[in-house]
Structure 1
Amino acid sequence: MAGTGGGVSPSVMPALPSQAAATPAGRPGCTELVHGRDWSGTELGPRDHWDPAVSATVELVLSSPMPMAYSHGDGFLLIYNDAYADLLGSLHPAALGQPAAEVLGDLWQSRGLGGVVEEVYRGGRPVLEAEAPLTVIRGQPGRPEQAFFTRGHSVVRDLRGKVSGVLTVAAETTQVTRRLQNLGELTSKLAGALTIDDVARVVLGYAMASFDLDHCTFAVDDGGAYRYVRRIRGEMLDEADERLPPVWKRVPNDPRAPIVTAAQSGQATFVPDGEPLVAVASDRHERRIRALAALPLRTPLLTGALTIGYREAHTWLPAERALLNAAAQLVAQAAERARRFEAQHGTAQLLQRSMLPEHLPELETFRIAARYDVGVDGNAAGGDFYDAFRLLDGRLAMVLGDVSGHDVRAAAVMGQVRAALRAMALTDPSPPSVLAGLDRLVGSLGAESRNEEIFVTVVYGVLDPADGTITMSSAGHPPPVLRRAGQGGGRPTAELAKVPPGAPLGLGGRWQTGQVRLEPGDSILMFSDGVVERRGRALNDGLDALVAATAAASSGDPRNLCSLATSAVEGSTDDDVAVLAVEHAVAMSRSATMHVPAEPTGPSRVRQWMSTRLREWSVPEPIVGAAILCTSELTTNALLHAGTPAQVHIDLNAERLLVSVADTGTRGNLIRAHADTMSSRGRGLGLIEELSDSWGTDPTVRGTTVWFEMLIPRTTTD
């Protein structure tokens, strides 16, 4: 993406072909041409298969009022907007959707046009061309004239991080040369912004860096009012801060507030000198602002505004105003896409997680944990699932499966398979019997839908708590990883469990059983193929990496193993990920739970409660202090960012202390007047990384859980 470095000397570009004197009436625009074209025969492929980042970049190009072009892939397939088409003149519309070298010929071979684009694509570094002269034909009748264009070129990466093409932004001006490259960076980063939080981070970072501001706010409508996030000069943000959601606050519908007026009226205002925020100022920073620009963000589905300000008088030049208005339009489009994504993502997440067990069984000497993560786009329900439940005879049934596909149909099949498995297991829990019944179900579903491509894999086992034996069968699913605790102080080991392979469900197969035994301290990890499969890499490489990471884990705690498994194999995956882990505990653990109200006094209550409980349990004092500090910070973040009551759970055994903090929402109405005194912002995550032996975050059916684990020194006994 574009940055502030990597520039080259200005280059002289040859004259482009004469532009048409006027656009013929009724001629379709670039947006209509791009949306109406069949791209399946091109390097891009069908539009519904485009990478989300590429698709977002194309939409940004088409909606921009500034000349923009996107050159895709090794062939530099050209997609541009109407403003850029005006620069191409008679080459449009033939150039649209064609390889640049073929349609531009000698022009593309010159460094002034194709050479720079190829340099950016191959090298992955942004380039800013300042004041490049270009001959164009204008006026009636057309007369040649020399114009100066500044162009910024930045790489566009897909969601896997691979360079997919080059984004070019052009502007006929010499006054915004420095800021133009940052506009290209803004465009590229907005293309990868999936949520409103992401858009807020990008916008605030862009505005503060590009305009050397003292004050910037970004606001969007929220249930009849507005919520905003702010950045001010001198505010120190570290890596941990950037990983947390921005702190949103609500702004009253006060007509004296420039940000509210801009959002509601749709009109930009520019105050060069005065006291634009004094009537609504919430602190001394806002009272000191003298110059302010308020820019509306308006789309059919979103209303908001962006304000930027200085503590000194500032003249808003026409070129600067035009640049800000263009940036605001890009931000508005990105914010609308993010809102659509969040709505679809939330529906998909709710559908997916509602089909998974909300609570896992609790056994005296066996601990269970599970985790489900959506794939890269996070925008569709998937077919991965897990389950664990008590059988009538006291044994534990556990299963992990995968229905191919990433749509509602896959999720529906998954729900049917999971429900049927429970019913069959409660009647006859034998693994071969359960898989045979599921096989008939999947075959029937395929026949009813006249679709023979329903592909379901499952690994299913029955654990006997009396002796730790697990009897398992696999229907085309990868075998679980078995982690053996080191005996006599030895290092832990891990291997793939020996489970006889069997055919996937629906093919009429027969299944055999394998058996393993969990000794105290041992763990078993079931996983879906999204954990180990990576594009362009052998499956065995992923399996080996998972086994090695499991053996090297700081402990066999199931929550720790689930978190570790999701990141054990390098690279990203397009697939969903589901994991289920069970540990045979060395001894029974002690646990306690506290419900924390969404009030500023919540963290202090947690500190008192944990101090009393851990000292009653004779936990070593250094661990008590570190655990209380980390839990207080996590509770603060949960209350601040979720805005709902939190639940703190502590679990202690002879080996480790496990603490989890769960919330039940995404945003709320916490008493914001005390928000600044409740947290130091990202400090909580930094403390956990420094003080704990392992930690992670788990999405749940109704919120998010953040947990950490601290190992108890071996010399200490309860």
Structure 2
Amino acid sequence: MHTEDVLAAVGSGLWQWDEGTGTVTVDDCAARLLGLSGGAATHRSTAVRACLHAADFVSLSAAVSLAASEGTVAESLVRVVGDDGTVLRTLRTRVAPRGRLLSGTLHEVHSARREGAPTTTDWRRAREAFLLDAGRALAEADSTTEVLRVAATLSMPGFSPDGLAVFSVEGDRLSMIGHHGQEIADNTLLDMPLSTDYPAALVARTGRAVYLPTPEAYAKRFPAAWPLVKRYGRVSWAYLPLVVAGTTTGAWLAAFREPVAFTPDERSVLTTVARMLGQALSRAGLHESERALTDGLQRTMLPTRKPGVSGMAVAARYVPTGGGLQVGGDWYDVIDLPSGRTAIVIGDVQGHDVRAAGLMGQLRIALRAYAAEGHSPDAVLSRTSRFLAGLGEEHQADVRFATCLYVEIDPLTGTLDVVRAGHPEPAIRLGDGTTIVRRTAVGLPLGIEPDSDYPTTTMVLESGEVLLLCTDGLIETGGHDLETGWRRLSQALAAGPANDLEVLADSLVRAVHGPASHHSTGPLADRREDDIALVLLRRDPDGPTCAVPVRRTILTVSQDDPGQIRSCRDDIRALLHDWASAEQVESAVLLVSEVVTNVLVHTDGDAVLLAQVTGMPGTRRLHVDVDDASDDMPHRRSPGEMASSGRGLLLMEELADAWGVDPRGDGKSTWFELYESAPRGAS
């Protein structure tokens, strides 16, 4: 007689549950008990679900999943319901794993009292709420320490552990990486071979949970380990595997001062928490590994010493994006040159990945080498561009370019030779806080054209003035474009303390992204849109301050770059940003544009603009000098209505408070002055 016939004779049916395919196979008796038509057959699990009370099916599914993970037998009571929802009969089922399948029996019970029935709705809701909250808290933990802290605060519904420990598999050993609830009195538990006769070691070896509901059960099953744990005063223990991608990575111990029977529902909660804990520890470990790699890359590629320039104060920051490896292509460097001068470099390689970081490191080394050979700033960038273009030929599938700004500094005179390869322009904060974005000549980004030329712009940093060099992450983050981003930065630069560049650097980063780490290469807590690199340079930080506020700008406009006239107008507007009369500001802009244009049109040389504001607000004076190398003096003309030129001196007489043309030994200087006055209509 077959087993099926024997079971049918006593009213029991057979069924097999395949979780992989989501199917249930039943014999004739099981089909009758479940109310399935067609006799022995294979059905979708949804068809079986329709025959059972919804709450019972949920409990049965949890018991089956738990049995599959533990390799134990699942036992549950389920109610069979009709089409109208009425209960037809109650069945007891036992299911045991057999390879990929879970095989079991079904038989009808007639007792009104359903012993071992599924938990009440209230308890189930409390369990689901607890698991949701635990999952959220563990998902937000981003370090091993934080994961262990969250695990220590978990309050399970009805049976919270009093102590816990987490073990990690490292080769053929098991190490305790964290614990809560007691001090470990025996170092044996901190590190042990996997072969040790200890529950956590057994769990790590087999991947199966161990439940010890009583001290007697512990002492009987693990007599060698019992003396080590007896002193802690617990009465029930659960050891569960931590599994990630099918691999057991460690074990979790939950110890209880109150007896726990470890019912299927309680084991289900513990198993679910162990799964979440294993995943959280894996994510935290990966995050910490990435952070360690990031820190290593940053330490390798950024300057190894604090930036310094003789006679000047320097502060620098590098802030990564905060996403992924938290490393990208932004960098800065301070280079001592053979001439005794110092170079400051800031740049940005296209991209935010390991490739960008690698190219950044190569560029930094190449640029330092060319600078150390004593080349001029333009030659340094030309050679670096050729070097990057050569790397692009070797990696045709991933061609990158880089922007760069190179400044050679003469600390004695404050002279700055600026060369720019597609990089954002520098800005200067004057002694009274006024900020000017210095328009400088620009070449192509590095790596685009191997034989590019890079024009040099010379300017002077006066005592007390602050030079800002930065990457576009400081300017364009937060939906800003280049114009609005510079406006925001100018306000932050003017508001910060110029006498403390470290505080000023932090305030600039904070103005864009919020609080920053004081460590120039430390990652910020929140995610960034783009990397940030910035360098601040102040001349003569300990020198005497001027009793009368002075604002000054110097700019050279060459014959082959008349577009710099716009830069002259922008600088004048920046100098007069708080001038009382808007009409006088526009007059000054018009006069500067006219005088500089006359030099370019009527001479063969360059125009050198020097504009200076002195005095206290309300009584200030603007003095503008435009020098050229020609000895020809301007003459007053009477242009007709349709004339396109000849009005320069007439405008001087009409708009300037004072003006003149002074001969110099090597040319002449055309100058004018405006004296601040209240706007028309003001009292």
2:249 is the alignment partner of 1:303: yes
Contact (CA 8 Å) 1:462, 1:470: kept in 2 or not?
A: yes
Using the TM superposition, name which of 345-354 and 416-425 deviates more. 345-354
Do 2:341 and 2:410's aligned partners in 1 also have CA atoms closer than 8 Å? yes
The alpha carbon displacement at 1:404 in A equals 0.9
Q: 1:250 to 1:197 in 2, by over 3 A?
A: farther
Aligned counterpart, 2:459: 515
For 1:232 and 1:330, locate their aligned partners in 2 and report how far apart those are by CA, in whole Å. Answer: 21
Does residue 252 (structure 1) correspond to residue 198 (structure 2)? The answer is: no
Distance 2:488 2:170 in 1: 45
Q: Are 2:337 and 2:374, in contact at CA under 8 Å, matched by a contact in 1?
A: no
Q: Structure 1 residues 267 and 25 mapped into 2: Cα distance closer, same or farther (>3 Å)?
A: closer
Structure 1, unpaired ranges of 5+? 1-20, 30-84, 91-137, 148-170, 234-248, 487-491, 589-718
Partner Cα distance (1:341, 1:179) in 2: 30
Q: Give the corresponding residue for 2:386.
A: 440
**Counterparts of 2:189 and 2:418, CA distance in 1:** 53
User: 1:239-318, aligned counterparts within 5 Å?
Assistant: 251-253=190-192, 262-272=203-213, 274=215, 279-280=227-228, 287-299=232-244, 303-318=249-264
Distance in 1, Cα, partners of 2:511 & 2:166: 37
Q: How far apart in 2 are the matches of 1:25 and 1:327? A: 21
The offset of 1:583, in angstroms, is: 4.2
1:399 and 1:461 in contact (8 A); partners too: yes
2:115 match: none
Match for residue 528 of structure 1? 471
Distance in 1 (alpha carbons) for counterparts of 2:489 and 2:239: 51
Matches within 5 A, 1:27-426: 174=121, 175-206=123-154, 213-221=161-169, 224-232=173-181, 251-253=190-192, 262-272=203-213, 274=215, 279-280=227-228, 287-299=232-244, 303-379=249-325, 381-426=327-372
Q: Structure 1: which amino acid aligns with 2:492?
A: A
Q: 1:231 to 1:482 in 2, by over 3 A?
A: farther
How has the CA–CA distance of structure 1 residues 450 and 313 changed in structure 2, closer, same or farther, with 3 Å as cutoff?
closer
The answer on 1:575 being equivalent to 2:575 is: no
Q: Please list every run of at least 4 consecutive aligned residues from structure 1 whose deviation after the TM superposition is greater than 6 angstroms.
A: 21-26, 85-90, 138-147, 208-211, 275-278
| Distance of 1:484 and 1:585 partners within structure 2 | 13
Q: Deviations over 1:301-320 (max 9, x none)?
A: 66223333444444443212
Q: Helix, strand or coil for the counterpart of 1:287?
A: coil
* TM-fit CA distance, 1:385: 1.7
Q: Deviation of residue 195 (structure 1)?
A: 3.9
| Cα distance in 2, alignment partners of residues 210 and 463 from structure 1 | 71
Alpha-carbon displacement from aligned partner over 1:116-141 (angstroms, at most 9, x marks no partner): xxxxxxxxxxxxxxxxxxxxxx9999
> How far apart, CA to CA, are the structure 2 residues paired with 1:327 and 1:408?
35
Equivalent AA in structure 2 for residue 517 of structure 1:
L
**Structure 1 residues 493 and 273, CA, compared in 2 at 3 Å: closer, same or farther?**
farther
Distance 1:565 1:222 in 2: 45
Q: CA deviation at 1:388?
A: 0.9
Could you report, residue by residue, the CA deviation over 1:264-300 in whole angstroms, capped at 9, with x for unpaired residues? 553433444559898547xx9x835444433221336
**Does the CA contact (< 8 Å) of 1:534 and 1:572 recur in 2?**
no
Where does residue 573 of structure 2 map in the other structure? none
Aligned residues: 420
C-alpha distance in 1 between matches for 2:367 and 2:279: 45
Q: For residues 146 and 331 of structure 1, do their structure 2 counterparts lie closer, same or farther at Cα, with a shift above 3 Å needed?
A: farther
Distance 1:204 1:451 in 2: 49
Determine which of 450, 462, 465 is the counterpart of 2:396: 450
1:376 touches 1:573 (CA, 8 Å); kept in 2?
Answer: yes
Radius of gyration: which is bigger? 2
The gaps in structure 2 that reach 5 residues or longer are 1-14, 24-43, 50-77, 88-117, 183-187, 219-224, 514-525, 544-683
Whether the aligned pair in 1 keeps the contact of 2:466 and 2:539 (CA below 8 Å) is: yes
Cα 1:396/1:383, change in 2 over 3 Å:
same
Match of 1:463 in 2: 409
Quote the offset at 1:401 in angstroms.
0.8
Query: Mapping of 1:638-717 within 5 angstroms?
Result: none
Aligned-pair CA distance for 1:504: 1.8
Aligned amino acid, residue 192 of structure 2: N
Secondary structure of 1:568's partner?
helix
In 2, are the aligned partners of 1:460 and 1:474 still within 8 Å (CA)? yes
SS in 2 for 1:305: strand
SS at match of 1:296: strand
The offset of 1:460, in angstroms, is: 1.4
Instruction: Give the 3-state SS of the residue equivalent to 1:229 in structure 2.
Output: strand
Q: Determine the C-alpha separation between the residues in 2 that align with 1:319 and 1:475.
A: 66
Residue 458 of structure 1, CA deviation:
0.8
Cα distance in 2 for partners of 1:518, 1:89 equals 85
**Aligned-pair distance for 1:261?**
5.4
Q: 1:312 to 1:534 in 2, by over 3 A?
A: same
| Maintained 8 Å contact 1:216/1:232 | yes
Q: How far did residue 513 of structure 1 move?
A: 1.7
CA distance in 1, matches of 2:18, 2:395: 50
Q: Distance in 1 between matches of 2:458 and 2:127?
A: 65
Provide closer, same or farther for how the CA distance between residues 341 and 395 of structure 1 changes in structure 2, counting only shifts above 3 A.
same
In the alignment, is the contact (CA less than 8 A) between 1:469 and 1:515 conserved in 2?
A: yes
Rounded Cα–Cα distance in structure 2 between residues aligned with 1:209 and 1:527: 54
Describe how 1:472-511 pairs up with structure 2 within 5 A.
472-484=418-430, 492=433, 494-505=435-446, 506-507=448-449, 508=452, 510-511=454-455
Q: Distance in 2 between matches of 1:211 and 1:496?
A: 66
| Kept after mapping to 1: 8 A contact 2:415/2:458 | no
Provide the secondary structure at the position in 1 that maps to 2:134: helix
3-state SS of the aligned residue for 1:253? strand
Q: Describe the SS at the equivalent of 2:332.
A: strand
